[in-house]
Structure 1
Amino acid sequence: MPRDLLLYTTLGCTLCEKAKPEIWPVLEEFGLRLREVDIAGDPALEREFGMRIPVVGLGDPGDVCGWPFDTGVLRGWLEARCR
């Protein structure tokens, strides 16, 4: 079963839409599936990521890859955590 790569986002986040094409190429490579997490309505996530989205992570909100990133940067971040 694939592990989730979390994309912390919210409705209307144009940068989040720009981030998705950078994310898609690494999903299969690392056996991941993309799961979007809307930070709206979650006070802790809003405090942590409100001004930083898009942000991706593997479940630990303290260990994330924040925008701006490209596929190469994201691949390097994932290699350090998934291999």
Structure 2
Amino acid sequence: MDYRTFKVAGRDIGIALEEPFWECLEDLAARRRTSLGNLVHSLEKRDPPDIASALRVLVIKDIMEIAGIELTPFRPSCEPAKKYH
């Protein structure tokens, strides 16, 4: 785990992520022509903020977009007659 601190809205926010996530976030920030701090700030507005998880999801979504992978929701059919039998 790599721990980094960012100043957001006048307070320090510490985030621990695995190094590959930080590397992907640095690439993402560079492609968006912004900083890691700005990425963190954009996610900090969540209530309650779970910034580490939100950053991991951001990386996964970015990788999927680059790879052209699109998730589709899968909803199994519910057969009430068989549900509890």
TM-score, normalization by structure 2: 0.32
Larger RCO: 1 or 2 (CA < 8 Å, sep 6+): 1
Give the TM-score normalised by structure 1: 0.33
